[in-house]
Structure 1
Amino acid sequence: MGTASQNYLAIIKVVGVGGGGVNAVNRMIEAGLRGVEFIAVNTDAQALLMSDADVKLDIGRDLTRGLGAGADPAKGRQAAEDHADEIEEVLKGADMVFVTAGEGGGTGTGGAPVVARIARSLGALTIGVVTRPFSFEGRRRSTQAEDGIGALREEVDTLIVIPNDKLLEMTDHHVAILDAFRQADQVLMQGVSGITDLITTPGLINLDFADVKAVMQNAGSALMGIGSARGEDRARAAAEMAVSSPLLEASIDGAHGVLLSIAGGSDLGLFEVSAAANLIEAAAHEDANIIFGTVIDDALGDEVRVTVIAAGFDGGLPPRKVMSRPEVRKPEPLAPRPATPAAAVPFGSEPKPEPVEPVVRPVPKPVPPELGDDELDVPDFLK
């Protein structure tokens, strides 16, 4: 009987790629994340030895001789391609695959898109959960991270990007550098557990794999917010914190799919859950598909933890990036301004031979709308 029911459980695999990804996997294992299989993939054999993952895959045997990719994404990508068959073998049978990495280095940045492509080709719901590096890590790492995020976005159903700099807004100014990176691993873990716990842990309101798939499949970019609170009105307070979390780089009101996880002890009340869910519903897009569930975890004590994952933005990007484009267009001022210089031009010379007189160029008809006012005025001033 137990074996039969086991077959109906979704098979979830979490793959940590590169140093940051493997560290995040170790953190999840330490925290006791349940119901998933952990896979560590790295070009650094020494770091791999220290991992507690169920499966360890050394993809640097030939190319890097187990010494790492030297922060070179091309080398990381090649190492993953060289071992594509082995990666495929360990991913077979998965219903859902999380690909986690710290973007900006070599193995994670270059290898994660390869792992994601293989997972998706096997039919698994593929979710990327990655960090964007701290700004103090340097411009080169930041540029490599953006390239890696772009490449990974093409290969996953949903991509959650956690901006490490935003973590600094959630901690005190005396935080040690080790603690800052540990906190980044912790948030990566919460991104994964916020989704997997809904499927694998019983609660007041249960979700299954199909519910999660409805929100996450082909959803593009996603944002994650987390909040926790104790005391009176704790669930609503945690939901407010999640919606206004610094990790959310844009408002969730543009999201057409929202996954909401409310975790608490066995004293978590139905009305508490309702208050938190109503707050999220009010903040989301009016037509959003909101799927929420609860997780009962007595280890939380009197704390309630809310995780919001907002996905399915128009164009696959959060509103912040979409909004920044239209503000560049300002063609309106062109109409009144050219009238002044046009008076100095002989009015009858509308057919204007362009090479003869530079003065004739400002006549409104040939001017494309993109040209700014300054460009039209310069010839007159020079005259």
Structure 2
Amino acid sequence: GREAADLARGLIRDALEGAHMLFITAGMGGGTGTGAAPVIAKIAREMGILTVAVVTRPFDFEGSKRMSNAEQGLAELEANVDSLIVVLNEKLLEVYGDDISQKEAFGKANDVLKNATGGIAEIINVPGLINADFEDVKSVMGEPGKAMMGTAMASGPDRARLAAEQAVVCPLLDGVDLSGAKGVLVNITADDSLRLGETREAMNAIRAYASPEANIIFGTVNDPTMGDSLRVTVLATGLSGKAEKAAPELTVIRTGTDNVPLRPQGYGGHAGADPYQSPAIWRSGRGAPSAHVNALMQSGMDEVEIPAFLRKQAD
């Protein structure tokens, strides 16, 4: 893969001429994607093209050699793209179980790519009442490192908050925490019924997950075909910086129950929403998910609406 891409550098450069943004999608661990993707990304970077990679990491059962190749390729790819989204194949088994068909399982992984490209295309191409455009995308995605791209729809009286929360929850990606994000772009799509208070609810739900220092940009799009539904699209970048942040110190108070492990109560997932259809993101310590669960409870969120995946991480 690498040798073929190196030999075709001129052809690749010609094919990319005039492009403003490039999506690279590949399966990591083998020869073609692992070898060629970083070469293509480097050429695009030299040409000043905004480049996003959406790639898969192998199943554990594919062996340590393939996993090692994938990790090496991911490291090289991350160094040459503006943003990197990694789909974990192993999570397909954990999330959907052993009985899911291969076709359906890989379709779930492909949804991550579809949501990423479709969500960004909507932000760039569809004019909004509060407009987020390519320059906003470029500003947010210019933050180097791992990224998430999530989208979700909801309807009913609590649609704004539910859509926002589901847009940032996806166990197929390498983590689910926005607290390390340096840039966050939010786009809200609805018909004329969108209330200003709903925009506030959606943004407050996103802010409960995001770092206080994050650069947050939002836009709204009017789409008469949405009916009672509301869609929230979230793009978060610069997530590699999360590992550099120290976890806050905890104060231990002795109460006579020192041998009982401290943890928040368990909460079930929201029965009416599918948290697995929309991407969201990157690895953090146990403290961050717990803080997010507490923040959601304090904002008035019912126990049954706490996403089950966040509850597991908080535990």
> Does TM-score exceed 0.5, indicating one fold?
yes
1:277 aligns with 2:203: yes
CA distance in 2, matches of 1:231, 1:172: 30
Kindly state the Cα deviation for residue 290 of structure 1 after the two structures are TM-superposed.
Answer: 0.7
CA distance in 2, matches of 1:271, 1:171: 36
Q: Judging changes above 3 Å, is the alpha-carbon distance between structure 1 residues 317 and 121 closer, same or farther for their aligned structure 2 residues? A: same
Corresponding residue SS for 2:80: coil
> 1:239 maps to which residue?
164
> 1:202 maps to which residue?
127
Kindly state the Cα deviation for residue 170 of structure 1 after the two structures are TM-superposed.
Answer: 4.9
CA distance in 2, matches of 1:163, 1:107: 18
1:110 aligns with 2:27: no
CA distance in 1, matches of 2:187, 2:61: 33
Kindly state the Cα deviation for residue 248 of structure 1 after the two structures are TM-superposed.
Answer: 5.9
1:306 aligns with 2:232: yes
> 2:20 maps to which residue?
95
Corresponding residue SS for 1:253: coil
1:258 aligns with 2:172: no
Which shifted more, 134-143 or 172-181?
134-143
CA distance in 1, matches of 2:59, 2:152: 22
Q: Judging changes above 3 Å, is the alpha-carbon distance between structure 1 residues 210 and 278 closer, same or farther for their aligned structure 2 residues? A: same
Of structures 1 and 2, the one with the larger relative CO (CA 8 A, separation 6+) is: 2
Kindly state the Cα deviation for residue 234 of structure 1 after the two structures are TM-superposed.
Answer: 1.2
CA distance in 2, matches of 1:301, 1:272: 15
Q: Which amino acid aligns with 2:215?
A: N
Query: How well do the aligned residues superpose, as a CA RMSD in angstroms?
Result: 2.6
Which shifted more, 77-86 or 206-215?
206-215
Q: Judging changes above 3 Å, is the alpha-carbon distance between structure 1 residues 231 and 237 closer, same or farther for their aligned structure 2 residues? A: same
> 2:69 maps to which residue?
144
1:292 aligns with 2:292: no
| TM-score when normalising by structure 2 | 0.69
CA deviation string 1:16-67 (max 9, x = no partner): xxxxxxxxxxxxxxxxxxxxxxxxxxxxxxxxxxxxxxxxxxxxxxxxxxxx
Contact 1:128 1:159 (8 Å CA) reproduced: yes
1:159 aligns with 2:84: yes
Which shifted more, 275-284 or 264-273?
264-273
Kindly state the Cα deviation for residue 173 of structure 1 after the two structures are TM-superposed.
Answer: 5.3
> 2:99 maps to which residue?
174
Kindly state the Cα deviation for residue 226 of structure 1 after the two structures are TM-superposed.
Answer: 4.2
Number of residue pairs matched by the alignment: 246
CA deviation string 1:78-119 (max 9, x = no partner): 111111101100101111112222222321111111111111
> 1:63 maps to which residue?
none
Contact 2:115 2:149 (8 Å CA) reproduced: no
Q: Mark the runs of 5 or more structure 2 residues left unpaired by the alignment.
A: 248-315
Q: Judging changes above 3 Å, is the alpha-carbon distance between structure 1 residues 307 and 143 closer, same or farther for their aligned structure 2 residues? A: farther
Q: Percent identity?
A: 50
CA distance in 2, matches of 1:150, 1:85: 24
Q: How does 1:345-356 map to 2 (within 5 A)?
A: none
1:211 aligns with 2:136: yes
Q: Mark the runs of 5 or more structure 1 residues left unpaired by the alignment.
A: 1-75, 325-383
> 1:354 maps to which residue?
none
